[in-house]
């Protein structure tokens, strides 16, 4: 299959290309497109064959449900069995934006889209290209992140091209995404709102709107055998760079010291080493290959850069990636959720 890629943002959205993408979606085809979180791999959310095509293009296990993307609140009601009061409040506050809500599904949502679940995850993105595409398609768009299953999520169209070229007919290039981490997923089908995947919208922000929230613990650390995360996707290895990645957690100067030791010994063994550092720690690593993720005091910046840094390490043939940790803030915990998976939970506490 030939993949076409078009730049569509800028002063005026390229309506003609967006209409072409929408007609591909309506005919059951797939389109890569930008959202404010990461790039999505979109298909018609009400067409079971589109869901199957998404799983096939990503190499994604078909029990890992897809998020439906809508452009207006009016599109929600037909997709869900009920809208709890907590959902109304959260949507008023955070939609459009990086928050996904899980509802009981209605009959029209196919089980292929929900990975066999009776619930459905729905989000209203704020990115103008995503919104224009959903409106033009006239159907909810099912879209997981547009990476091959297991790889870091794409934050630029070039990342989507890398993974999906030859597998899908079209990619809409809207430049680099703003946030760079996937949406926060909140399950509203139980007694209490429960965060299934941490993200840019933090537990404190959610609690301010709906009071108490639970956190699905299985989504955070390494799931113990028998522990089943409520978001099925959280159990899979994810975000993995080709390099072997080690995280070092502890007091800053001790962390730098340990990373230096690990870097030196790996280089002595002929390995290509890269250190993921911050502006605060960069000076410790003079002479080493570093990727600076941003300022520790600005976790938004680190979230924005993280997936690109992981992909760059693949292009540059890095064998060993070493990184400090970022768990001090709530957004930092969402970053750590991704980083721990990327490192296969390989972390040294000092």
> What residues line the site for ligand AMP (CB under 6 A)?
64-65, 67, 102, 114, 117, 119-121, 144-145, 182, 185, 196-197, 230-234
Tokens, residue 29: 């085809």
Instruction: Report the site for Mg ion in 211-270 (rule: CB under 5 A).
Output: none
| Burial group, residue 260, by CB count within 10 angstroms (0-12, 13-18, 19+) | middle
* Smallest gap from residue 273 Cβ to ligand AMP (A): 30
If the CB atoms of residues 232 and 344 are measured against ligand AMP, the closer one turns out to be 232
List the single partner that 117 binds among ligand AMP, Mg ion, none, CB under 5 to 8 Å by kind. Answer: ligand AMP
3-state SS class at 171: strand
Rounded CA gap, 25 and 116, in Å?
22
Four-point Cα dihedral 18, 147, 73, 49, nearest 10: 80
Query: Closest-CB residue for ligand AMP?
Result: 233
Does 155 help bind Mg ion (rule: CB under 5 A)?
A: no
Contact 255, 248 (CB under 8 A): yes
Task: Give the interface size with Mg ion as a residue count (CB under 5 A).
Answer: 1
* Smallest gap from residue 125 Cβ to ligand AMP (A): 12
* Smallest gap from residue 326 Cβ to ligand AMP (A): 20
List the single partner that 120 binds among Mg ion, ligand AMP, none, CB under 5 to 8 Å by kind. Answer: ligand AMP
If the CB atoms of residues 183 and 246 are measured against Mg ion, the closer one turns out to be 183
* Smallest gap from residue 336 Cβ to Mg ion (A): 17
Strand locations in 174-315, DSSP E?
184-187, 194-197, 214-215, 244-249, 273-277, 290-292
If the CB atoms of residues 114 and 145 are measured against Mg ion, the closer one turns out to be 145
Contact partners, residue 217, CB within 8 Å, separation at least 6: none
What secondary structure does DSSP assign to 224-251, as a single string? Answer: PTT---SSGGGGS--S--SSEEEEEESS
If the CB atoms of residues 145 and 202 are measured against ligand AMP, the closer one turns out to be 145
* Smallest gap from residue 144 Cβ to ligand AMP (A): 3
Does 145 help bind Mg ion (rule: CB under 5 A)?
A: yes
* Smallest gap from residue 198 Cβ to ligand AMP (A): 12
If the CB atoms of residues 196 and 336 are measured against ligand AMP, the closer one turns out to be 196
Rounded CA gap, 256 and 263, in Å?
10
């Amino acid at each position: 299959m030939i993949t076409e890629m078009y730049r569509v943002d800028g002063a005026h959205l390229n309506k003609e290309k967006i209409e072409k993408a929408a007609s591909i979606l309506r005919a059951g085809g797939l389109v890569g497109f930008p959202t404010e979180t990461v790039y999505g791999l979109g298909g018609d959310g009400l067409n079971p064959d589109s869901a199957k095509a998404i799983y096939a293009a990503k190499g994604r296990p078909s029990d890992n449900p897809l998020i439906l993307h809508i452009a207006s609140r009016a599109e929600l009601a037909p997709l869900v069995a009920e809208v709890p009061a907590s959902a109304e409040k959260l949507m008023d506050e955070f939609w459009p934006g990086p928050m996904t809500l899980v509802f009981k599904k209605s009959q029209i949502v196919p089980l292929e889209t929900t990975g066999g679940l009776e619930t459905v995850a729905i989000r209203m993105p704020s990115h103008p290209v995503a919104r224009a595409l959903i409106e033009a398609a006239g159907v909810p768009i099912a879209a997981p992140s547009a990476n091959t299953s297991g790889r870091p999520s794409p934050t630029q169209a070039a990342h989507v091209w890398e993974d999906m070229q030859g597998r899908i007919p079209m990619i809409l290039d809207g430049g680099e995404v703003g946030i760079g981490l996937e949406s926060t997923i909140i399950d509203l089908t139980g007694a209490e709102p429960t965060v299934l995947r941490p993200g840019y919208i933090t537990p404190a922000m959610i609690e301010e709107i709906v009071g108490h929230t639970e956190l699905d613990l299985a989504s955070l650390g390494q799931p113990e055998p028998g522990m089943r995360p409520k978001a099925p996707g959280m159990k899979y290895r994810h975000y993995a760079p080709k390099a072997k990645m080690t995280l070092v957690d502890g007091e800053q100067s001790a962390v730098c010291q340990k990373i230096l030791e690990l870097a030196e010994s790996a280089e002595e063994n002929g390995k290509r080493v890269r250190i993921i550092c911050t502006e605060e720690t960069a000076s410790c690593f003079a002479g080493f290959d570093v990727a600076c993720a941003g300022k520790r005091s600005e976790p938004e910046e680190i979230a924005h850069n993280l997936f690109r840094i992981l992909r760059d390490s693949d292009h540059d043939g890095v064998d060993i990636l070493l990184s400090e940790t970022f768990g001090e803030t709530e957004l930092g915990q969402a970053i750590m959720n991704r980083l721990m998976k990327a490192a296969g939970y390989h972390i040294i506490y000092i």
